[in-house]
Homo-oligomer: A and B are copies of this chain.
Amino acid sequence: MKPDPRYLLGKPVRDRILSEVQSMTGAAGRIGKLVSISIGDIPEVAVYVRNQARAAALAGLPFDQEFWGGEVGQDECKARIQAMNDDPDVLGIILQRPVPDHINVRSLQSAIHPLKDVEGMNPASIGNIVYNDVAMAPCTAAAAVELIRETGLDMKGLEVVMVGHSEIVGKPAAMMLMAEGATVTVCHHLTRSVAMHSRRADVIVVAVGKAHLIGPDMVKPGAAVIDIGINQRIHPDGSTDIVGDVDTEAVKEIAGWVTPVPGGVGPVTVAMLMRNAMRAYQRQQAAGWRT
């Protein structure tokens, strides 16, 4: 059976991007390795790292996993990151989140050199997005933009409504979409009527973390709906499932496109990390760090 064409699936987009990256890594010189840093023993981090390692293998990028004990201090973390900044064998640094409570994650993100910041989390990287330099953007925001592009809708003049204004998704995605010519409205928990905005949107991007927040009554017929939410539901019988911020099955009957959860934004996000790694390589070359 053919999948419903209204599902905007992440896997084909991911595969295309990973193979683009792979064709570049094959042609590149000594490219260095991606280093993933996990601090402490946090179960959900293991899933992310596994997905990233798999994508890196497909992209032809060496991927090293470092596990730092939960007792490691802030200064020691910073010193180790700074050593990686100076190490030509390190192409990019991935700081897995969450981290233990005694670690200041923002400060560590700032310590990662912008040319090695493949997650696009350093304030300087985020600032570059404001200046329309979107080479290394936060991966989830970049994935949302990539999926909108996939619809074939012309970004120029597109009315986009972002629901959620986080630093790592909502705000950078808004900036990136403005750079492409979209008119962007950013809604959040203080917005008086999200529906007033979402109903007039050509594209809705949701990143809030509330299961089924966006129902069909909030969507304009034919709109594209990009769902960044990942919510675990526990049912009365004890079983669990993962759903997004969008009531996908109901919205699918109204929307032109809707990204499923799982299988939509997630696979593209990890591909964006690999694309950032490739861009980091190009920028390090341009800066004379690599030959």
Instruction: Say yes or no for A282: interface residue by CB 8 A criterion.
Output: no
A183 proximity list for chain B (CB < 8 A): 185-188, 190-192, 197
A156 touches which of B122, B128, B130, B190 (Cβ 8 Å): B190
In the complex the two chains form, is B165's CB within 8 Å of A178's CB?
Answer: yes
Instruction: Say yes or no for A263: interface residue by CB 8 A criterion.
Output: no
A185 to B174, CA, bound (A): 10
Q: Mark A159-198, 1 if CB is under 8 A from B, else 0.
A: 1000001010001101100100111111110111000010
A167 to B130, CA, bound (A): 6
Of the four ranges (under 10, 10 to 19, 20 to 34, 35 or more), the interface on chain A belongs to 20 to 34
Q: Using a CB-CB cutoff of 8 Å, which residues 181-217 of chain A contact chain B? A: 181-188, 190-192, 197
Determine how close the nearest CB of chain B comes to the CB of A202; give it in whole angstroms.
10
A197 to B157, CA, bound (A): 13
Instruction: Say yes or no for A125: interface residue by CB 8 A criterion.
Output: yes
Each complex incorporates copies of this chain amounting to 2
Instruction: Say yes or no for A19: interface residue by CB 8 A criterion.
Output: no
A181 proximity list for chain B (CB < 8 A): 188, 190
A175 proximity list for chain B (CB < 8 A): 130, 171
A130 touches which of B130, B187, B191 (Cβ 8 Å): B130
A184 proximity list for chain B (CB < 8 A): 185-186
In the complex the two chains form, is B190's CB within 8 Å of A157's CB?
Answer: yes
Instruction: Say yes or no for A67: interface residue by CB 8 A criterion.
Output: no
Q: Using a CB-CB cutoff of 8 Å, which residues 104-144 of chain A contact chain B? A: 106, 122-128, 130-132
A157 to B181, CA, bound (A): 25
A132 proximity list for chain B (CB < 8 A): 167
In the complex the two chains form, is B178's CB within 8 Å of A171's CB?
Answer: yes
A binding-site residues for B, Cβ under 8 Å? 106, 122-128, 130-132, 156-157, 159, 165, 167, 171-172, 174-175, 178, 181-188, 190-192, 197
Given contacts A125-B127, A127-B128, 15 further A-B contacts (CB under 8 A): A122-B127, A124-B127, A126-B130, A127-B130, A130-B130, A130-B167, A130-B171, A130-B172, A157-B191, A171-B175, A183-B186, A183-B187, A184-B185, A184-B186, A185-B185
